[in-house]
Structure 1
Amino acid sequence: MTDADPTDADPTDAAPTDAAPADDGDGAGEVVQAFVRGLAVIRAFDAENPELTLSDVARRAGVTRAAAGRFLRTLQTLGYVRNDGRSFALTPRVLELGYSYLSALSLPEVAQPHLEALSRSVGESASAAVLDGAEVVYVARVPVRRIMSVGITVGTRFPAAATSMGRVLLAAASAPVRDEVLERVPLTALTPRTLTDPEALRHELDRVRAQGWARVDGELEPGLQSLAAPVRSRGGEVVAAINLSMTSGRYSEAEVAERLIPALLAAARAIEADLRTP
């Protein structure tokens, strides 16, 4: 038995019986567990783990080696995964899985030129993100220089509580959404400066909501500072956030207040104006 061709049995993939109905009905609230596990296999890969052995995939996805092997072979047959004989990796075709969402979401297309203009005007990277549970997901980005150990691309996810865009989005979210993040999701210390006390974070979100922008310095990664502002839909709902990211200490407090924040807020308003355009 090789790592790329498992043969061990997986009881969770046994054929359905009368006592265990097949996962192909349409009952309300029904979850197809095989599909859930298949998505977990895809999500096992990330920027820090672009190539994984079968055992790595099984461990990260929380499935048996046999199940991981079946899912990987299926994905390979469909063209979403490649295998070099030892390890597996996603192929560019996996981007198709998110294309429908991005195609239906006008925000990236609307935001991109404004992010490019913002980045040119201040000389720093600019991005846009939306909230997905306890994480932010990047939907548009204009990089200037690499200032993080992990590369950021469209689709990159970070904990919302530790990012400027996440705090802008959480500050505007409903109370149940904030409670979900602050009470049920562990606030992990990503750096010594990460805010991990739920009550302190609540106060910070109140401050962000009152001032209309957020600033995070060294909480996601040492030496990284970011500023974020909300983007509102035609109906006034905060649907996204944009940010500027830079090296900590690169600018004086006066320059941040007098140049960077006004430029960021102006870009957010410009995006909103375009979103309101029929």
Structure 2
Amino acid sequence: MTNDGPVGTTNRPTPDAAPDAAAGSLSNDLPGPSSGFVQSLARGLSVIRVFGADQPLMTLSDIARATGLTRATTRRFLMTLIELGYVRSDGRNFALTAKVLELGFSYLSGITLPEVAQPHLEELSHSIGEATSAAILDGSDIVYIVRVPTHRIMSVGINLGTRLPAYATSMGRVLLAGLAPDALSSYLHDVKLQALTERTVVSEGALIAELDAVRSHGWAVVDQELEPGLRSIAAPLRDGSGAVVAAINISTAASSGTSESIRERFLPSLQQTAADISADLALADRAGR
């Protein structure tokens, strides 16, 4: 007979009646035993992992079935997790508490922006088959902090730490559009706008108009202003307060389409990636406080 009744001091753990089931369970996903492998810890973590957005509340039987553990083992893990504050129960159903976030905060508080952005940009590059990058603003230049190349489309090699003029790059336009008015005025006062190609915007008024458009749209496309044959599209990365802290872009050969077609092809994926990275940055920021 099953029993999903209250878990309390009167329901003392009993010895496992049989080895834990494995078929079709989370325990199947656990690595095989090794000299340093602690199976009980792995099983306890599987109890936490079984909860999700589609299953925020689960009974003892649900959890035992999903993890492949016996009911007695599952009960002991749940009692321990309740005692530690990671799980709560109304007597029948179990749910995670916000305290489980602490398990990841130590890691999140120590990671840097490039470490957050790198896997997202690798996934984006793989899905679209084009180079992706992330950069920050440093003075009048952008500085590359992440680069996922595919094939070389620029005469100048791009590596981590490469600096390029902000006004002639898509990531630079996004970063400049995110500046406070005083900071942007200082930038415009100090920068010398030079024609890098015949398409480069070198008028301060025209650049300000471009930045106004970027601020309105939330993205920037630069068409062969940095180098002939190179076109790129960029979107901002924001921290928990909503401030622009970096930018990401997709760069491609101008021969692969028009500015409009590139926007249609790449902007949705770019914006989704920017949103995902920004969400991770916000979480890391909260963890570090």
TM-score class normalised by the smaller sequence: 0.5 to 0.7
Sort the Cα spacing of 1:145 and 1:232 in 2 relative to 1 into closer, same or farther, 3 A.
Answer: same
- What is residue 237 of structure 1 aligned with on the other side? 243
Question: Is 1:122 aligned to residue 103 of structure 2?
Answer: no
Sort the Cα spacing of 1:254 and 1:198 in 2 relative to 1 into closer, same or farther, 3 A.
Answer: closer
What secondary structure sits across from 1:187 in the alignment?
Answer: coil
Per-residue deviation at 1:255? 4.0
1:1-278 aligned within 5 A: 106-252=112-258, 255-277=261-283, 278=287
Letter in 2 for 1:186: K
Letter in 2 for 1:130: I
Distance in 2 between residues matched to 1:179 and 1:194, nearest whole Å: 20
Contact 2:221-2:259 at 8 Å conserved across structures: no
What secondary structure sits across from 1:235 in the alignment?
Answer: coil
TM-score by length of structure 2 reads 0.59
Runs of 4+ displaced beyond 6 Å: none
Distance in 2 between residues matched to 1:171 and 1:184, nearest whole Å: 16
Letter in 2 for 1:116: E
Distance in 2 between residues matched to 1:244 and 1:253, nearest whole Å: 12
Contact 1:183-1:198 at 8 Å conserved across structures: no
Per-residue deviation at 1:183? 2.4
Sort the Cα spacing of 1:221 and 1:252 in 2 relative to 1 into closer, same or farther, 3 A.
Answer: closer
Contact 2:233-2:263 at 8 Å conserved across structures: no
Distance in 1 between residues matched to 2:222 and 2:111, nearest whole Å: 27
Distance in 2 between residues matched to 1:259 and 1:150, nearest whole Å: 25
Sort the Cα spacing of 1:105 and 1:221 in 2 relative to 1 into closer, same or farther, 3 A.
Answer: farther
Root-mean-square deviation (CA, aligned residues, Å) is 1.6
Per-residue deviation at 1:235? 1.0
Distance in 1 between residues matched to 2:193 and 2:137, nearest whole Å: 16
Distance in 1 between residues matched to 2:181 and 2:111, nearest whole Å: 25
Contact 2:171-2:234 at 8 Å conserved across structures: yes
Gaps of 5+ in 2: 1-108
Letter in 1 for 2:235: A
Letter in 2 for 1:234: G
Aligned residues: 176
Gaps of 5+ in 1: 1-102
Distance in 1 between residues matched to 2:146 and 2:129, nearest whole Å: 17
Contact 1:124-1:244 at 8 Å conserved across structures: yes
Distance in 2 between residues matched to 1:196 and 1:152, nearest whole Å: 23
Per-residue deviation at 1:180? 2.2
Larger radius of gyration: 2
Task: Spell out, residue by residue over 1:117-170, the C-alpha distance to the aligned partner (whole angstroms, 9 max, x if none).
Answer: 110111100000000011000001100011111100010000000000000000
Which has the bigger relative contact order, CA under 8 A and spacing at least 6?
A: 2
